[in-house]
Amino acid sequence: MTISSAQTTVDTWIKTHGVRYFNEMTNMVLLTEEVGELARIIARKYGEQSFKEGEENTDPGDEMADILFILICLANQTGVDLESALEKNLEKKTNRDKNRHKNNEKLR
């Protein structure tokens, strides 16, 4: 699935099953909540925290998909073509950082 087709798929899903988009502020809050849920999993799975009872089977991929879904909703609502935006962002990063990370002693 391309990013553009994902935007179309989410839009169709919202119009078919979701009645309408939540407003942008609500979606921003939901995005923040989902990022927090992913952070909790990462802290427990890869960090120094341990899972609480009943949390062991938490799937980081599911949380990442929740984040992506809401991010796509926000893009659709605000008229952002995420595929184009990502391409432009990668070009910016490449121009700005083409040697920066290679020359970073901390990454060796």
Instruction: Tell me the per-residue pLDDT of 44-102, one tens digit each, with 9 for 90 and over.
Output: 999 999 998 888 778 999 999 999 999 999 999 999 999 999 999 999 999 999 889 98
pTM of the entire predicted model: 0.89
Distance CA 3, CA 9 (A): 10
The pLDDT, as a whole number, for residue 55 is 80
The pLDDT, as a whole number, for residue 54 is 83
Q: Which superfamily is assigned to 3-101 in CATH?
A: MazG-like (1.10.287.1080)
The pLDDT, as a whole number, for residue 102 is 87
Distance CA 77, CA 55 (A): 33
The pLDDT, as a whole number, for residue 108 is 86
> Torsion-angle region of residue 107: left (phi > 0), alpha (psi -120 to 50) or beta?
alpha
| Residue 34 CB coordination number (10 Å) | 20
Distance CA 92, CA 61 (A): 28
CB 57 within 8 A of CB 31: no
Per-residue confidence at 21, pLDDT binned at 50, 70, 90? very high
The pLDDT, as a whole number, for residue 67 is 98
Distance CA 90, CA 75 (A): 18
Per-residue confidence at 36, pLDDT binned at 50, 70, 90? very high
